[in-house]
Structure 1
Amino acid sequence: MNALLPRSCRPGALRATPARPPRRQAGLELAFVLLPGFDLLALMAGLEPLRLADRLGPRGQVHTRLLSLDRAAVMSAQGVAMPVEGNLTDHPDADLTLVVGGEGICPQLPQTLTGALRRLWRQGRRVGAVHGGIFALAQAGILGGHRFAAHRDHLPVLAAQWPDLAPVATLYCMDRRVVTCAGGIAMADLSLRLIHDSVGQAAAHEAMHACLVTAPRGEDTPQTASVAPRTQTRNPSMHRAVQWIEQHFAEPDCLKQAVHEAGTSARQLQRLFRVHLGVRPTQYLTEVRLNQGRALLAQTEMSVQDVALACGYTATGTFAKLFRERFGIAPSRYSPFQSKSGA
């Protein structure tokens, strides 16, 4: 594990922090601000290309720092305590500051974090987020008017709490001074892009080959497989209907519009769904809505009534009945650890 960490973050580094070198005229300096429960996979996937670019290219071209909210080591979602070099206010001049979170959502992050992010933003610096760190940028008010990537599991929460924002379900996104990544292995793709843009194509290729990456994925790559592998059909009408339902599930006329988008009859669409998915379009829509509702109940403080409305149900009783049938528990009592196995 130690070999994967930046040199300055290996055990013992905090006992004697060396004087900081003069700021480089070229290269890349990144600060990773770790939140409790952060995604260790994403952090390691992002650090390794950066480490290799620094080792294989001119030394000092790439520098990384791990920071926390209180200068203490941070526990990852995987149970690994990560040592850090300080907090965000100790190192405010990185080329890019990324807040790294995980699956969980902090309902209210410390003002020290959101305030520091706003100061960096006002100073014209680049800021960003990885996985659950996106909520720090949302609470800081930085994401308005920007295109940004968010993990697909966080999309319903963002839509419910910040309806004016427009996240995209891609691997990563770079929109002016906002840099965001959905997490996981996608962080390696973002790091390779940052190396390419800041250090050069040669350094990016060296790091890419050393990581055994045959080709980095672009920022518009979707997080999920296309409809064809999931439905095991290449029928274009089926693809268009599924995509419409998944993107517009809360709309009252969702199924009617899905038929229109599919370019076929309602009867033919019913047949396609039965053949390829084993369910009717209404059942597929219900499953999408209930999964969104489950995510909102697990990750927000929204009331059951508000969750029902966000999922397209005007009658809370209908939502509660369907939710109980699907997950074996009333939505008012739902916990991620209490649902039926396989739910």
Structure 2
Amino acid sequence: MTAPAYCIGFLYWPDTRPMTLALAEEALRIARRLHPEANYEARFLQAEPSMEGDWRLPGEAWSGRIEGCQRLFMLADEPPLQVATALANALKHAVRSGTVLGALSAGVYVLAQLGLLDGYRAAVHWRWQDDFSERFPRVVATSHLFDWDRDRLTACGGIAVLDLLLAVLARDHGAELAGAVSEELVVERIREGGERQRIPLQNRIGSSHPKLTQAVLLMEANIEEPLTTDEIATHVCVSRRQLERIFKQYLNRVPSQYYLELRLNKARQLLMQTSKSIIQIGLSCGFSSGPHFSSAYRNFFGATPREDRNQRRGTNPFDVPPAASERG
């Protein structure tokens, strides 16, 4: 006898990449084939109408009501500017009716905007960590691959979507089914939600040299109060000359230059994703004064922090408003 259908809905915004929906649908399809009790029905809903000429993802236009889904995920690849009032009311009604809500990638912004993640852990993609934490201080933003906190499920995006769905299958029908689905999809291993989402350092810097790895980790951990090259060399137990040779060989720059670029890139991330003042950002990234920060920033990026922020703000609708100290 076939088990009753269990509906998992995916409410997506126009910029959602096809890969996310394909991963979800394929995982549920395989589960249905392998397990008689896993009678999942995937339902795809368009949160907003697509622009004329856009490639259309599968699914039906949201019609004003959300009913019949036991779990409902929000999907977006960029933070939606706002959630329509009718949709917001429908989602809140779904919560009151017992629907378990989830969010994949930038879909986490939807639930946060509606206050539906207040007091919950939520996995947020590393690109949006600073921005999200500043906008939604009542949400416990994590750098996990995914979080399952009571009746809220969130995944940071990418392949982590599959990790979360495998966890759903394991919770619903046992680890054996999750393992079988992962084998069908040729997934090397099932990752735990609490694993960190950042790419391993050796992949990011293109080297597995242990002293180089140690030195870069020290730099990343000491952005606000930078260490000297001599201090870093002492911590990793090499001479200053040896450390400079390693950096030159593997990264084609001296340690001080790499450290400066690291701090400037962090500053630019904060500049674009938060409303902190320029001087606050400069100090938090280890620059002793505003002019020092502005000069170093202009030399590296070709524009001052203020010019860069204003230019991005004029072209990117997702940027935050200026800090009070920068208005006027």
**Same fold judged by TM-score > 0.5?**
yes
Pair 1:183-2:157 in alignment: yes
Partner of 2:201: 227
Determine which of 310, 317, 331 is the counterpart of 2:308.
331
Q: Label 1:167 to 1:86 Cα distance change in 2 as closer, same or farther (>3 A).
A: same
Q: Label 1:69 to 1:204 Cα distance change in 2 as closer, same or farther (>3 A).
A: same
Partner of 2:23: 45
Partner of 1:218: 192
Q: Distance in 2 between matches of 1:245 and 1:64?
A: 46
Unaligned ranges ≥5, structure 2: 316-328
Instruction: Tell me the CA shift for residue 239 of structure 1.
Output: 4.3
Greater shift in the superposed pair: 286-295 or 187-196:
286-295
Partner of 2:281: 308
Partner of 2:39: 61
Pair 1:106-2:83 in alignment: no
Q: How does 1:250-261 map to 2 (within 5 A)?
A: 251=224, 253-255=225-227
Pair 1:150-2:119 in alignment: no
Q: Distance in 2 between matches of 1:124 and 1:83?
A: 26
Instruction: Tell me the CA shift for residue 278 of structure 1.
Output: 4.6
1:47-105 per-position Cα deviation (integer Å, ceiling 9, x unaligned): 211122123332771111111225x4x47xxx531242342853344222111010x23
Paired AA for residue 130 in structure 2: P
Q: Label 1:266 to 1:99 Cα distance change in 2 as closer, same or farther (>3 A).
A: farther
Partner of 1:136: 110
Partner of 1:81: 56
Partner of 1:33: 11
Q: Distance in 2 between matches of 1:334 and 1:267?
A: 43
1:264-322 per-position Cα deviation (integer Å, ceiling 9, x unaligned): 5897596565665454555444433433444455567x476388369536755444433
Pair 1:96-2:71 in alignment: yes
1:8-63 per-position Cα deviation (integer Å, ceiling 9, x unaligned): xxxxxxxxxxxxxxx94xx7431111012113222222221112212333277111
Residue 81 of structure 1 aligns to a residue whose secondary structure is: coil
- Contact kept? 1:68, 1:86, Cα under 8 Å: yes
Partner of 1:195: 169
The structure showing larger relative contact order (alpha-carbon pairs under 8 Å, at least 6 residues apart) is: 1
Q: Distance in 2 between matches of 1:115 and 1:285?
A: 48
Pair 1:160-2:138 in alignment: no
- Contact kept? 2:117, 2:139, Cα under 8 Å: yes
When the two structures are aligned, how many residues end up with a matched partner?
Answer: 304
Partner of 1:10: none
Q: Distance in 1 between matches of 2:111 and 2:204?
A: 32
Q: Label 1:33 to 1:279 Cα distance change in 2 as closer, same or farther (>3 A).
A: same
Q: Distance in 1 between matches of 2:68 and 2:34?
A: 25
Partner of 1:291: 265
Q: Distance in 1 between matches of 2:115 and 2:222?
A: 26
- Contact kept? 2:270, 2:281, Cα under 8 Å: no
Q: TM-score, normalised by structure 1?
A: 0.71
Partner of 1:19: none
Q: Distance in 2 between matches of 1:293 and 1:49?
A: 39
Residue 220 of structure 2 aligns to a residue whose secondary structure is: helix
Percent identity between the aligned chains?
25
Q: Label 1:60 to 1:219 Cα distance change in 2 as closer, same or farther (>3 A).
A: closer
